[in-house]
Amino acid sequence: MNSDKLTVRPEPVEGFARAERGDFGSARNRASTSLSPNGIIDVRADFPGLLNADGSVWHYLDTAATAQKPQAVIDAVTRAIGRDYATVHRGVYSRSADMTLSYEAARRRVASFINGAESEIVFVRGATEGINLVAQSWGAANLKAGDRILLSTLEHHSNIVPWQLIAERVGAGIDVVPLTGDGRIDLDAMALMIDGRHKLVALAHVSNVLGSTLDAPRAAEIAHSVGAKLLIDGCQAVARLTVDVAAIGCDFYVFSGHKLYGPTGIGVLWAREEILQAMPPWQGGGSMIDRVTFAKTTYAPAPTRFEAGTPAIVEAVGLAAAMDYVAATGLTRIAAHEAELVRATRELLGNINSVRVLGPDNSSGIVSFAMEGVHPHDIGTILDESGVAIRAGHHCAQPLMEALGVPATARASFGIYSDASDIEALGRGMERVRKIFG
């Protein structure tokens, strides 16, 4: 990685042609990604949310919860909800046709981002809805009494509760894969546990607490060795890892747009086409039908079958713009950038005797820690007073907290805009915590 300034400014394309190409970034404010002298990506100026109302810098270290939005995404959303706005799929007037092109171009953009097919992309409200869709559609049609579902200790509640609901409904059971000593899903243990009773395996690609990364292709091989399907929760992966669903070999992949620098209210379910086409509809309403009569209703093919009602038009366009922004920077560069920040943060916290740093040394963009005698909420409050935003709590992963032997953790998580000043501010704040609590 060189230290020369690198600027990526795709040629602006307006109106109909922009929608045709799936070019969603702002012509005026596109992702200008530059490198600082030490090789760290410097794009803070693209993110207005990193400044407080008084113009001071906000050290935002909660990207694992939700990412700040670049101006390119804000501009794309503003245009889509303003001058370009119309409904999709229904109107015969030209603006509706143009908006339909933009919406479907967003689907193509998502497909290319994860190396899937356009016909395999279902827009949902977020990963939570995507997992529930699979559980209530595929699960209801394919799981029966006596079947088993395999999860892991580190899963987010959104990848636990939907499976509990369908398991209770059909009489299936749930097994849990343990973790290795450094907080990874133990695939050796998984290979010994899994058998022909297991029909569905659901695992996080990157842990939202520990930042540990799953060997997803191996997980797919293990699942498929007994005929089970594999669902991957990619919420923490898509913003920092190159995701190739074909190379992974999974059957379902879900993620949320707002963790990928896009809007809230939009997410993606990818499923293999033959699986998706065989799944029954989950929600009924407009758009997802072929023909409705009081005697019988027939349904549209997938993915339309799973997008009942007026879709999240603006949000889909914003998500595509976010993907353009991330692609302009490069996921390999983003991963390297965050790896250096993680290394520095783990070193900083490791030098505080009372702090226990959790997860593997090479965690992906996330550092969770606990301080002896100090509740994480107190750490978060004091850091907030110092202008530093972290997460404190169980992070929707209570079974993992129990396994770690802590009620909660403090978590610093990084994004494309994070830099050394954030770590320095975290260090100053933690010194204040230490002085206050002795």
Element (H, E) at 388: strand 388-389
Q: Are residues 262 and 140 in the same domain?
A: yes
Range of the domain at 352: 332-437
Q: Which of 314, 340, 373 is the last residue of a domain?
A: 314
Instruction: Please give the Cα distance from 107 to 89 (Å, whole number).
Output: 14
With 0-12 / 13-18 / 19 or more C-beta atoms within 10 angstroms meaning exposed / middle / buried, residue 171 is exposed
Q: Are residues 121 and 245 in the same domain?
A: yes
Q: Is residue 101 part of a domain?
A: no
The pLDDT, as a whole number, for residue 17 is 35
Q: Is residue 246 part of a domain?
A: yes
Label residues 158-170 b or e (16+ Cβ within 10 Å = b).
Answer: bbbebbeebbeee
Instruction: Please give the Cα distance from 119 to 301 (Å, whole number).
Output: 9
Q: Are residues 400 and 279 in the same domain?
A: no
Tokens of 336: 């390297």
The pLDDT, as a whole number, for residue 272 is 98
The pLDDT, as a whole number, for residue 35 is 45
Q: Is residue 252 part of a domain?
A: yes
Q: Are residues 293 and 342 in the same domain?
A: no
The pLDDT, as a whole number, for residue 219 is 98
DSSP letter, residue 180: -
The pLDDT, as a whole number, for residue 1 is 35
Q: Is residue 308 part of a domain?
A: yes
250 belongs to the catalytic site: no
State the CATH number of the domain containing residue 416.
Answer: 3.90.1150.10
Q: Are residues 287 and 146 in the same domain?
A: yes
Query: Which residue, among 168, 165, 174, has the nearest Cα to 201 in the 3D structure?
Result: 174
For residue 303, how far is the Cα from the chain centroid? 20
Q: Are residues 301 and 371 in the same domain?
A: no
Q: Are residues 309 and 339 in the same domain?
A: no
Q: Is residue 429 part of a domain?
A: yes
Q: Is residue 106 part of a domain?
A: no
Check 176, 396, 403, 406 and give the catalytic one: 396
The pLDDT, as a whole number, for residue 42 is 85
Task: Please report, as a single letter, which amino acid is at residue 90.
Answer: R
Q: Are residues 344 and 299 in the same domain?
A: no
The pLDDT, as a whole number, for residue 411 is 98
Instruction: Please give the Cα distance from 145 to 64 (Å, whole number).
Output: 36
The residues with which 123 forms a beta bridge, in sequence order, are 268
Q: Are residues 268 and 120 in the same domain?
A: yes
Query: Which residue, among 128, 255, 131, has the nearest Cα to 201 in the 3D structure?
Result: 131
pTM for the full predicted model: 0.91
The pLDDT, as a whole number, for residue 173 is 98
DSSP letter, residue 143: -
Q: Are residues 183 and 278 in the same domain?
A: yes
Q: Is residue 273 part of a domain?
A: yes
Number of domains in the chain: 2
Q: Are residues 309 and 386 in the same domain?
A: no
State the CATH number of the domain containing residue 176.
Answer: 3.40.640.10
Query: Which residue, among 39, 23, 122, has the nearest Cα to 333 in the 3D structure?
Result: 39
Q: Which of 286, 314, 342 is the last residue of a domain?
A: 314
Q: How do beta strands 41-42 and 34-35 pair?
A: antiparallel
SS3 state of residue 98: helix
The pLDDT, as a whole number, for residue 24 is 53
For residue 210, how far is the Cα from the chain centroid? 15
Q: Which of 314, 347, 363 is the last residue of a domain?
A: 314
The pLDDT, as a whole number, for residue 40 is 59
Q: Is residue 43 part of a domain?
A: no
Which parts of the chain sit beneath pLDDT 50?
Answer: 1-22, 26-35, 37-38
Q: Are residues 250 and 389 in the same domain?
A: no
Task: Please report, as a single letter, which amino acid is at residue 426.
Answer: L
